[in-house]
C-alpha cells in the first residue's frame, strides 16, 4: 500500500535474485550491507539452516501483513497463525492507518537503500515499524535499521515522527518498542564508516 505521499520512486529498482538496489542504473548498497559488522556479531554463531528457516518465516509473515494492509485479506499458513494473530492483536489495540508496506527508499546523500516493513499513522503521528518474527528481538539492531530507513524517507520530503519494532511471537503474543531515532541514526553512520573501511581494505 502506498497512501498518497508514499509513491514508488521510479528511479529506484531492485534485483530480487541478486538482492541489488540501483538508482537510475547506478549500484547502491543496502542498509543490511552496512549493518554486517553488527549482524555478524549477533548471528554469526547461529546455524545457517536455522537462519534460513527464520528468514523464510519472516518473509511469509511479512507477505501476509502486506496482503492485509493492501486488501484486508487474511491468508497465512496454519503453522504461522500465531505470528499473524499477534499482529492482529497489535493492530486492533493501536488502530493504525497503514500508509505504506514493503516500501523501497534510498538516501541520495549517504547513498544507501532498503525496503522498510510498515509506515503507519498512529495517534496522529507517522511511525515507521519494523516487524520481527525472530525468537528474540534485538532491539538495538532494529532501531539502527529503522533510523536508516526513516532518514532516507525524509530525504524525499516525508517526515517520520517515530521508529519502532513490532516483535511477533509464535504463541500469538507481541512486544512493541519505540526508539530514539537521532541516537540510532548516529549508530548507523558509525556502521557505514566501519563497513566502508572494510570494503576499501578488501580491495587493496
Query: So what's the architecture of 12-203 in CATH?
Result: Alpha-Beta Complex (3.90)
The predicted structure's pLDDT at residue 200: 77
Residues 6+ apart with CB under 8 A from 88: none
What pLDDT is stored for residue 25 in this prediction?
A: 97
| Helix segments in 95-138, DSSP class H | none
DSSP-derived 3-state class of residue 162? strand
DSSP designation for 35: T
Q: How far apart are the first and last CA of the chain?
A: 44
Q: Which residues pair with 26 in a beta bridge?
A: 23
Give the pLDDT score at 202. 61
- DSSP state, 74? -
Residues of the chain with pLDDT under 70: 1-4, 45-46, 202-204
pLDDT confidence of residue 36? 85
pLDDT digits (tens, 9 = 90+) for 127-152: 999 999 988 899 999 999 999 999 99
Strand partners, 98: 120
**Under DSSP, is residue 54 helix (H, G, I), strand (E, B) or coil?**
helix
Burial letters 118-129, b for 16+ CB under 10 A, else e:
bbbebeeebbbb
Cell of 89: 492483536
Q: What's the pLDDT score for residue 78?
A: 94
Amino acid at each position: 500500500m502506498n497512501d498518497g505521499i508514499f509513491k514508488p520512486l521510479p528511479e529506484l529498482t531492485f534485483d530480487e535474485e541478486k538482492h541489488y538496489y540501483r538508482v537510475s542504473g547506478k549500484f547502491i548498497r543496502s542498509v543490511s550491507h552496512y549493518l554486517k559488522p553488527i549482524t555478524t556479531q549477533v548471528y554469526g554463531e547461529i546455524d545457517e539452516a536455522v537462519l534460513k528457516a527464520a528468514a523464510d518465516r519472516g518473509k511469509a509473515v511479512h507477505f501476509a501483513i502486506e496482503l492485509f494492509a493492501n486488501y484486508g485479506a487474511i491468508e497465512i499458513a496454519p503453522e504461522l497463525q500465531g505470528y499473524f494473530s499477534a499482529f492482529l492483536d497489535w493492530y486492533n489495540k493501536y488502530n493504525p492507518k497503514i500508509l505504506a508496506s514493503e516500501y523501497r527508499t534510498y538516501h541520495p546523500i549517504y547513498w544507501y537503500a532498503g525496503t522498510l516493513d510498515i509506515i503507519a499513522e498512529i495517534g496522529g503521528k507517522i511511525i515507521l515499524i519494523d516487524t520481527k518474527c525472530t525468537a528474540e528481538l534485538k532491539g538495538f539492531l532494529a532501531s539502527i535499521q529503522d533510523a536508516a530507513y526513516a532518514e532516507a524517507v525524509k530525504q524525499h520530503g516525508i517526515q517520520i515522527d517515530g521508529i519502532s519494532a513490532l516483535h511477533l511471537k509464535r504463541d500469538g503474543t507481541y512486544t512493541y518498542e519505540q526508539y530514539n531515532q537521532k541516537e540510532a541514526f548516529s549508530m548507523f553512520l558509525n556502521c557505514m564508516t566501519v563497513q566502508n573501511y572494510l570494503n576499501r581494505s578488501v580491495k587493496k
